[in-house]
Amino acid sequence: MAGGLAGTIDGRWLRRAGRGAAALALVLVAGRAGLLGIDPAYAQRLNIKRTYRILTTNTADQWEPAIAGDLIVFTDRRSGSDEDIWYYDLSTDAQGMVAGGPTSQRQPDVSGRTVVYTDFGPSTGGGDIYAVTLGGAPTLVAGEPASAQTDPAISGNLIVWEDRRDGNLEIYARDLGGGPAIRLTETADAEELDPAVSGSRVVYSRRYADGTCQIFMTDVVTRMTRQITSGAGCFSRPDIDGDMIAYDNNPSGDQDVYVYSLATGEEHRVVLAGVQRNAHVSGDWIAAEKVAQVPYPNWDIKIYNIPRDSPFGAVTTEFDEQADDISGTRVAYQTNQNHNLDIGVVEFQLVSGRNHPPLADAGPDQTIECASVAGAPMTLDGSASTDFDGDPITYAWTGPFPENNGLVPSVNPTVTLPLGRSTINLVVNDAQEDSAPDSMTASVNIHVQGLGAPLAALTLEGATAPSPAREFKQGSTLPLKLVLSCGAETLQTDAVAAPEIVAIDSAAGSLDPSKLDLDSGKANGGGLRFRSSEGGWVYNLSTRALRPGTYTIWIKMPDGRRYSAAVVLR
């Protein structure tokens, strides 16, 4: 598990967990035939099943997880102001303290049942390295009172770490089976950091004075050193498992993940929009963190299978999942789903057969009355969305609502919709691919009263306007009166668009109102629009241009709906 910056707790940066195996995150690798053993014939033809759960429930923070087999170790602050190392055994669901005391212990890693960590006591010179077999007493691995030893990693009996005892940041190693600490690097014009180990192979980043960094590997047994990377930027945070090395770099400002095969000498760059970082590798699986953009920039966790050239989802929520580590088909990570940092684990299984895209269902159309001139709250319902493969899905709603700039997650969000009809779209994702969008129509309606005596009442479009009980003399002026409201709020001209006459029907056919002189005394809102008057709306309609007979007048309201009323002229 490679080190890195995870986030802040009480203003202090945390070192990211994940050594000796791989971490997990959104990493998509575009494969090429023959590269790193990738077989493009498998691409996008496989599916993955996964389950995840949160392991810790203490209200204090738990972070920096590392995993080996059934055992997860992590940093824990439940004891108070200092940090301790705890474990969680997935085979028994038992948990407890590995190392504690009055000083702070952080940066854990695990191999088998052996845990290594850094003790940041006041007399450690900035950090000492300890090892402890679960249930046993801690053993000092490296401690120089005048200098710091930090960021340990372990594979079997071999422990590696960063060390400043020589005045320069170098990589040291020690075999728990016996023997002294061994200095693996000695570079006067650079520093070495971020060590990771697999077997006897140790990888690390060499940082030069000009800010560039390259990945190197040293074999503890043969003492042979090999440069893995070259080129611009800063290659950093390497991880190794067997012949595979993963790391990241940002030569153009867009941080990406790289994978290198010691067997073939080939390097492959992950090319994906956004930021991918803290790469890890375990067997056929590589991973790194990815910034997601829905519904807002947050960190997600996905996995990628190298030979099958396929990305798979693991944990993708609107929360931050980070600081992950992988062992076999299990990934430990930290999450802020409960509004503090907790440790979670996801277990995945590769399944034969092509993944099927999920099916979005935005629910039926909805109509509600407005609550104010700003519109009304409406709860959307995507619960009928499904995934053929049974994968958990995430939701992305888009529409003309102010919440999160018109892009919100969750199955049943409540959003504020404007007056009138709106189209709301839903896309769901099974962490592998998006569904086709599904849409629903949301109508926020204004309450309409009118036309007011002695004229007939308005009828909403779709129903037949009743015959009026009264006739009017041709050539008279008819005061068409409306009251528009949202709840207790009466809507005036500054709040909404004016109602407008849009059509007039007669027994002889439809008339174009724009070609008729209906505006009595030019006292209306202009043309065919109503004007605001005494808490309502009025249009003084002149009937001089109309012949005797029965007419249906159509009025369009600010919410887009059309109403009609019948008038008889004699």
pLDDT for res 25: 31
Half-sphere exposure of residue 456: CA atoms within 13 angstroms, side-chain side:
23
8 A C-beta contact, residue 87 and residue 75:
no
- The arithmetic mean of pLDDT across residues 127-153, rounded, is 95
CB atoms within 10 A of CB 225: 13
Does 45 score more than 70 pLDDT? no
Which amino acid, 322?
Q
pLDDT for res 523: 66
Residue 246 CA to its chain's centroid (Å) = 24
Q: How far apart are CA 300 and CA 449, in angstroms?
A: 52
The CATH superfamily label for domain 366-445 reads Immunoglobulins (2.60.40.10)
- The arithmetic mean of pLDDT across residues 53-81, rounded, is 95
pLDDT digits (tens, 9 = 90+) for 425-468: 999 988 778 899 999 999 999 999 989 878 888 999 998 888 88
| Both tokens assigned to 97 | 């303290």
Half-sphere exposure of residue 31: CA atoms within 13 angstroms, side-chain side:
20
Does 20 score more than 60 pLDDT? no
pLDDT for res 313: 65
pLDDT for res 4: 30
Does 15 score more than 80 pLDDT? no
Does 40 score more than 60 pLDDT? no
pLDDT for res 352: 66
% of the chain with per-residue pLDDT over 70? 87
Report which of residues 306 and 170 the model is more confident about: 170
- The arithmetic mean of pLDDT across residues 134-163, rounded, is 96
Domain ranges in the chain with CATH number 2.60.40.10: 366-445
Domain ranges in the chain with CATH number 2.120.10.30: 5-351
How far the first Cα of the chain sits from its last, in Å, is 91
Mean pLDDT of the chain: 86
pLDDT digits (tens, 9 = 90+) for 235-279: 999 999 999 999 999 877 778 888 899 999 999 887 666 788 888
CATH pick for 5-351 out of 3.40.50.2300, 3.40.50.2000, 1.10.10.10, 2.120.10.30? 2.120.10.30
Which amino acid, 469?
A
pTM over 0.95: no
Q: How far apart are CA 18 and CA 16, in angstroms?
A: 7
Does 541 score more than 70 pLDDT? yes
Architecture field, domain 447-569: Sandwich (2.60)
Report which of residues 456 and 154 the model is more confident about: 154
- The arithmetic mean of pLDDT across residues 141-158, rounded, is 96
Residue 241's nearest CA partner among 262, 212, 256 is 262
Report which of residues 297 and 255 the model is more confident about: 255
- The arithmetic mean of pLDDT across residues 173-187, rounded, is 94
Q: Would you call 512 exposed, middle or buried from its count of C-beta atoms within 10 A (0-12, 13-18, 19+)?
A: exposed
Q: Of 185-199, 282-296, 507-521, which gets the smallest average pLDDT?
A: 282-296
